[in-house]
Amino acid sequence: MNKIFAVAGVVIKELYRRKDFYVLFILTVLITGLMWLMNFFHDEQIIRFIKEICLLLIWISSLVIAVTTAARQIPFERESRTIFPLLAKPISRWQVMIGKFVGCWLATGVALLVFYIFFGLVSASREHTLPVDAYFQAFWLHWQMLGIVIAMTLLGSVALSTPAANMTIVFIITIGILAMGGFLHKLAEHMAEPSASLLTAIYFVIPHLELFNMRELIIHGWTGAALPRWIDVLGGTVYGLAYSAFFLITACLVFRRKALN
Amino acid sequence: MRKGILILVLLQVICFSLVAWLQPRYEARTGGAQASGNVLADLLGDGRKMVADYCYVEADVYFHSGYYPSVFDQARKQEETDSDVTHPEEGNGQEEAGFMGKPLDWIERFGRHFEPRVHTHLQGDQIREILPWMKLSADLDPNRVQTYVVTAYWLRRRLNKPDEAEDFLRSGLKTNPHSPDLLYALGQIYLDNRKDYPHAKNLFLAALRCWHEVEEPKPIKTETGEGQRNSFLLEQILGALAQEETDAGHLDQALQYLEQLKANASDPAGIQQQIDTLKAKINAGKK
């Protein structure tokens, strides 16, 4: 376990040394600030529109941070040949892979937390309330979703030839699932066989990342009984961890047989 | 190297020549459309009407606090057509049965825990939340009269902002100077909020004139309902004129407008009742 956390620690340090997070955070703050300054019919109480834009930017930024951080890990170690001294130590390949995953996931989680704190401040400054439970649920589910994306990216980083190809494919898959994943079965209803069965099968196989999206509830200020129950959040967490584990185990299996030179 | 640079320069010259040749033809085809002054609208080009429609629907989504069918749901088209934000009185308090339908599988059932599940409409001054989308929609498609009318309605009725409503309607009138809907909505501000009867009357008369210019040539009924005459607007204008004359104390003129209204009304019996009441009032005044 110590070895896994040692590898993870290096990944976390790498994230705050790099500029990606700072640039994306400042960009989010700037754009949200501009939206804040926009004047719609001299009404200074409008907040949902600002929340929508801010949350959208947070989702985009967190995806960029998660995918770019995870996609570079193994290829960079191989390019710079630091993978050889690393594996010369008493550490197995699966420990390296899991260490990379834990590092990326924790680092992304820290970045996400900063984004959500900013979002909470923006929201509270106009609404004068801070529904901590709702924001925590949103943050938690968002983080679980990023876990799946990171595991998927790590699998891509050992299965695909270049980080660029990996990042492009993961972005397309992630955005595709977020936008369409929940509706594939409805589309299949209007299709002929065998396309209908194929699409339905895809619907049941893919990780439903859209399940972790609580944006509509947060934007429109739903609280109390309208929020998901904690048991549902737990269910979502188990679902997310199961898919993360699936991609991670597959990545470990591919990495175990991968030639490094 | 030099050959490559020369090819690049040649390509650049060809591109420039093509643009210089095509631009005047394009302008002639589109009727010399000018830049709107809105960066977003200029960037989106002809696609801006589509984005404007999206913004308008998004206002309806906000009106329902996110409880809205997706583009893949059967109910979506019906909801977009109903557009509760446009017809608030009709939608208030109604529970739309089968709005989302039954979930088809466990994934959909589980996913519903993380989405809005209750059908509500924005209450009180919360309606302000739809305003950014309405403004964007109007900026992107300034010819869509409905956006101005609906926004002005909410600004005036719910947010008590008649000045902002007037400014917005006037900006709509700049692009649609002969719109009876906009003139009627503007007249309503002068009648209800300002109690400026002469100004309101002028605006309603202008709306009536424009209605005859714009709507009268249209067929009374079409199969799809598109492009047919807006008789309801005529009723509204004549009703508002009658109301204005009554409020201003010109009961005889109000009676004339009610007679005109009766000839065009969907409910002549109701109008006859109003006429009788008004006649009784006039007679009582004479005695």
Whether the model clears a pTM of 0.90, i.e. scores above it, the answer is no
Q: What is the dihedral angle through the alpha carbons of A144, A150, A156, A157, rounded to the nearest 10 degrees?
A: -160
- Choose the closest CB to A40 out of B73, B113, B131: B131
Distance from CA of B241 to the nearest CA of A (A): 29
Count how many pairs of residues, chain A against chain B, have C-beta atoms within 8 Å. Answer: 86
Contact A68, A157 (CB under 8 A): no
The secondary structure of residue B287, as a DSSP letter, is -
Cβ contact B109:B11 at 8 Å: no
Overall average pLDDT of the A160-172 stretch: 90
Beta carbons of B108 and A236 less than 8 Å apart: no
Pick the closest to residue A48 from A147, A140, A122, A155 (CA basis): A122
Residue given tokens 């600002």 in the structure block? A50
Q: B32 with B24: CB under 8 angstroms?
A: no
Residue A106, pLDDT score: 93
Question: Which of A34, A37, A43, A187 to mutate to probe the B interface, most B CBs <10 Å?
Answer: A43
Nearest CB to B111; choose among A42, A210, A229: A210
Say which of A46, A186, A220 has its CB closest to residue B132: A46
DSSP string, B88-135: HHHHTT---TTSS---SSHHHHHHGGGS--S-----GGGGGGGHHHHH
Task: Yes or no: say if A223 and A123 are a contact pair by the CB < 8 Å rule.
Answer: no
Does the beta-carbon distance from A226 to B161 stay under 8 Å? no
pLDDT score recorded for residue A18: 83
Which chain B residues are within 8 Å of A228, Cβ to Cβ? 113-114
- Across the range A243-260, mean pLDDT stands at 88
Site from B63, B77, B110, B115 to mutate, A interface, most A CB atoms within 10 angstroms: B115
Q: Which residue of A has its CA nearest to B55?
A: A49
CA distance A50 to A39: 12
What are the residues facing B82 on neighbouring strands?
Answer: none
Alpha carbon of A42: minimum distance to chain B alpha carbons (Å): 8
CA distance A139 to chain B (A): 13
C-alpha span between A197 and A203 (Å, rounded): 10
Ranges in chain B, pLDDT < 50: 90-95, 97
Ranked by mean pLDDT, the top range of A91-100, A233-242, B25-34, B217-226 is: A233-242
Tell which of B107, B158, B189 to mutate to test the A interface (max A CBs under 10 Å): B107
Count of all residues that appear for chain B in the document:
287
In degrees and rounded to multiples of 5, residue A40 shows phi and psi of -110, 105
Confidence at residue B102, expressed as pLDDT on a 0 to 100 scale: 79
Grouping H, G, I as helix, E, B as strand and the rest as coil, residue A40 is strand
User: Is the N-terminal amide bond of A194 cis, ω within 30° of 0?
Assistant: yes
The pLDDT value recorded for residue B182 is: 92
Contact B110 A213 (CB under 8 A): no
Residue A41 has its nearest CB partner, among B105, B111, B131, at B131
Residue with token string 């001054």: B125
In total, chain A counts a number of residues equal to 261
To the nearest whole angstrom, how far is the Cα of B96 from the nearest Cα of chain A?
18
DSSP letter at A228 equals P
Supply the ipTM of this predicted assembly. Answer: 0.83
Greater confidence (B123 vs A140) lies with: A140
